[in-house]
Amino acid sequence: MCGIVGYIGKEKSLPFLINGLKALEYRGYDSAGIAIFSHDKVQVKRKAGQVKVLENALKNDTDLIGHLGIGHTRWATHGMPNETNAHPHNDCMGRIFVVHNGIIENYKELKEYLQHRGHIFHSDTDTEVVPHLIEDFLRSNGDFNVALFDALKMIRGAYAFAIIDVKNPDTLYAVSFSSPLVIGVGADENFLASDPSALVGKSKNVIYIKDGEIAEITRSKIDIINLEQKKTPPEIVRLEWNLEQAQKGNYPHFMLKEIFEGPKIVFSALQGRLKSGKNLVKLGGLEQVNEKLKEAKRLIILACGTSYHAGLVGEYLFEEIAKLPTEVHFASEFRYREEPFEEGTVVIAISQSGETADTLAAIRKTKKHGLLTLGIVNTVGSTIARETDAGVYNHAGPEIGVASTKAFISQLTMLVLMAVYMSESNGHQLHHALLQELEKIPEKIKAILDKASEIEMLSEKYKDCENFLFLGRRYNYPVAFEGALKLKEISYIHAEGYGAGEMKHGPIAMISEKFPTMAIVPQNSVSEKMFSNLEEIKARKGPIFAIATEGDKEIVSLANDIFFVPKTIESLEPLLTIVPLQLFAYYVGTKRGFDVDKPRNLAKSVTVE
Ligand code: M6R
């Protein structure tokens, strides 16, 4: 949440700051601001609203020519989303300028303390205490680094800061604690961002600042100072994301582009990992923990939002394929559980961003109990990727749309692979049909995308509904949750996902002519039961939109509208059935006139609890 950028180097800083903020806008878009060291002083510009408002305001500014700058796009936590609360914030003397991501939990007591000592505040933010606190320590000790360390000792919470000190104009300071910051290493220039998507096209070599570390960045040097105030060698990670992946291309929105990347995403997740001729899955990232995995008796999957829904599909996969009892938890609730952990329990964290605060807190808790933790993560080098004992990357490239689409598809693919990998029969004939079919999934997704215009037409019919029920069973039960989440996130229509068997225990009360049901009902082991549920809906005059298997005749008499998907093996169905639901959410959202890439109140990377 919130995006931070910073630049120091041979070029003028403004272009990178603005482009970087645009790339990070999916993290928050309430207001934006920059501070640039120009003509021996720091100039600050802030605006309420999206980055383009700030960009327009700076169009004719010839003053902002400095080579050191910081910027911020905000997702408001403390204080209204207006210009006064927009970052950067500064101290009384106008020496220290700070942009911040995260929450300073003890800001009220710090603010009172500082006000008592004569500091004047202008905003309602928690952030503003930071420059004043550093200023306060500078009064008793003139050294900036010492004052910064002393200030950090007093701050509680999760934070990432980028800081300019007017008296040290050759240095960009960065601090991270439970909130990510990554440095892009350049030649005679260095970049800073809260996630690597802002660095694409600028640098492929990145350094993640670890918890409690301070980075002192000049145009030619990067010093990392650890909690013990000692210099520590920077760890450089190679970033393989490219510019094309981070741009919309010919698509009107990132969300649509990312849905259409589905076939490619599955293909790249399988590459080098699936040896279908040998019925074998090889996951290099897990090899180092193979011995421990053989001892696994039980799995716990931890995730939030869309990744949690992928985890729910994983529960069925691991139980059916790997024969391992599996449970899935919302990471955000897991911290409150007093569950006794048995030996042989393996934890799997699923996260697109690799930075979700709740997921991170949940895996830290299991690590304290000595459990083996694995990650399924998209963002290379992210905190969850680093903190889990072993893991696999999705290789889906940057996901920019706030609503997660391609990451879900890649998570499902990784879960199938992982379930086979962890089964005792990996490499045996038993998995032949499943793995052969998995290889056909990209072309089957493509066949669905080729019919996107059918969904577009149907979305016109349903776009003014106020409610929607999504129903599925077994493997498609989590798909019902995910379809409903997509529709509410993007179109602000009230949508509920249910296991179809649960309908008669309550939700059926809502069914009426004005309350449509999206039924995920491919031909499989539970379709007869699904048909019975649909009869119950029809008897109550509820409109039905069905996602069904090509060639299914029975559904025709039951549903008002049908979208057909190709036949596949039941455990792989979610990889196909989710695609029309993602498209449906997209088209309904755009037809209702919303900015689907930046839905209201949301942020892509949820780095606060
Ligand atoms: O980055 P993560 O996968 O850990 O994020 C988890 C959720 O915050 C995320 O999936 C969220 O629900 C998205 N808005 C879904 O579209």
pLDDT for res 608: 64
Ligand 1 atom closest to the Cα of residue 359 is 4
pLDDT for res 421: 96
pLDDT for res 1: 66
Q: Say which CATH number the domain at 170 has.
A: 3.60.20.10
How far does CA 265 lie from the centroid of its chain? 16
Ligand 1 atom closest to the Cα of residue 407 is 3
The residue nearest atom 7 of ligand 1, judged by CA position, is 305
d(CA 188, CA 9): 6
pLDDT for res 325: 96
pLDDT for res 150: 94
Q: In the structure, what pLDDT confidence band is assigned to residue 506 with cuts at 50, 70 and 90?
A: confident
At residue 44, does pLDDT exceed 80? yes
Mean pLDDT in residue range 507-536? 94
Report the separation in Å between the CA atom of 488 and the middle of ligand 1, taken as the mean of its atom positions: 14
The reply to whether 605 falls in a domain is no
The reply to whether 598 falls in a domain is no
Examine the fold and report which residue of 238, 256, 283 is the final residue of a domain before the chain moves on.
238
Q: Specify whether 419 is located in the same domain as 529.
A: no
**Contact present, 114 and 122 (Cβ < 8 Å):** no
Give the SS3 label for residue 210. coil
Q: Specify whether 404 is located in the same domain as 452.
A: no
Q: Specify whether 189 is located in the same domain as 103.
A: yes
Q: Specify whether 45 is located in the same domain as 176.
A: yes
State how far the alpha carbon of 297 is from the alpha carbons of 17, 431, 473, 539, 599, in Å.
49, 21, 26, 46, 41
Domains of the chain: total: 3
Ligand 1 atom closest to the Cα of residue 602 is 14
Q: Specify whether 191 is located in the same domain as 139.
A: yes
Q: Specify whether 233 is located in the same domain as 287.
A: no
The reply to whether 602 falls in a domain is no
Report the separation in Å between the CA atom of 234 and the middle of ligand 1, taken as the mean of its atom positions: 29
pLDDT for res 479: 98
pLDDT for res 49: 84
465 is catalytic: no
Task: Ligand 1 pocket test: pick from 255, 304, 406 the residue with the most ligand atoms within 8 Å of its Cβ.
Answer: 304
Q: Specify whether 288 is located in the same domain as 225.
A: no
Residue where the block lists tokens 């899955």: 281
d(CA 415, CA 160): 32
pLDDT in tens, 235-266: 898 887 777 777 788 999 999 999 999 999 99
Q: In the structure, what pLDDT confidence band is assigned to residue 342 with cuts at 50, 70 and 90?
A: confident
Task: Ligand 1 pocket test: pick from 605, 606, 608, 609 the residue with the most ligand atoms within 8 Å of its Cβ.
Answer: 606
Q: In the structure, what pLDDT confidence band is assigned to residue 600 with cuts at 50, 70 and 90?
A: confident
pLDDT in tens, 449-483: 999 999 999 999 999 999 999 999 999 999 999 99
Q: Specify whether 233 is located in the same domain as 257.
A: no
Interacting residues of 291 by C-beta distance below 8 A, sequence separation 6+: none
pLDDT for res 85: 87
pLDDT for res 23: 86
Report the separation in Å between the CA atom of 305 and the middle of ligand 1, taken as the mean of its atom positions: 5
Q: Specify whether 563 is located in the same domain as 431.
A: no
* Residue 206: closest CA among 240, 174, 249: 240
The reply to whether 604 falls in a domain is no
Examine the fold and report which residue of 177, 210, 238 is the final residue of a domain before the chain moves on.
238
604 is catalytic: yes
Ligand 1 atom closest to the Cα of residue 403 is 16
Q: Which residue has the higher pLDDT, 607 or 3?
A: 3
Interacting residues of 39 by C-beta distance below 8 A, sequence separation 6+: 63, 66
Examine the fold and report which residue of 195, 217, 238 is the final residue of a domain before the chain moves on.
238
Number of H helices, E strands in the chain: 18, 27
Q: Specify whether 196 is located in the same domain as 70.
A: yes
Report the separation in Å between the CA atom of 537 and the middle of ligand 1, taken as the mean of its atom positions: 31
Report the separation in Å between the CA atom of 78 and the middle of ligand 1, taken as the mean of its atom positions: 22
Q: Specify whether 230 is located in the same domain as 275.
A: no
Q: Say which CATH number the domain at 489 has.
A: 3.40.50.10490
Report the separation in Å between the CA atom of 102 and the middle of ligand 1, taken as the mean of its atom positions: 17
Q: In the structure, what pLDDT confidence band is assigned to residue 344 with cuts at 50, 70 and 90?
A: very high
pLDDT above 70 as % of the chain: 98
**Contact present, 582 and 405 (Cβ < 8 Å):** yes
pLDDT in tens, 299-318: 999 999 999 999 999 999 99
d(CA 486, CA 408): 11
At residue 209, does pLDDT exceed 80? yes
Residues written for the chain: 609
Q: In the structure, what pLDDT confidence band is assigned to residue 92 with cuts at 50, 70 and 90?
A: very high
The residue nearest atom 12 of ligand 1, judged by CA position, is 305
The reply to whether 64 falls in a domain is yes
The reply to whether 606 falls in a domain is no
- Calculate the average pLDDT of the chain: 93
The reply to whether 455 falls in a domain is yes
Ligand 1 atom closest to the Cα of residue 356 is 4
Q: Specify whether 402 is located in the same domain as 539.
A: no
At residue 79, does pLDDT exceed 90? no
Segments forming the whole domain that contains residue 253: 248-439
The reply to whether 608 falls in a domain is no
Which residues line the pocket of ligand 1, CB cutoff 6 A? 304-307, 351-353, 356, 359, 402-404, 489, 602, 606
d(CA 475, CA 568): 12
At residue 542, does pLDDT exceed 90? yes
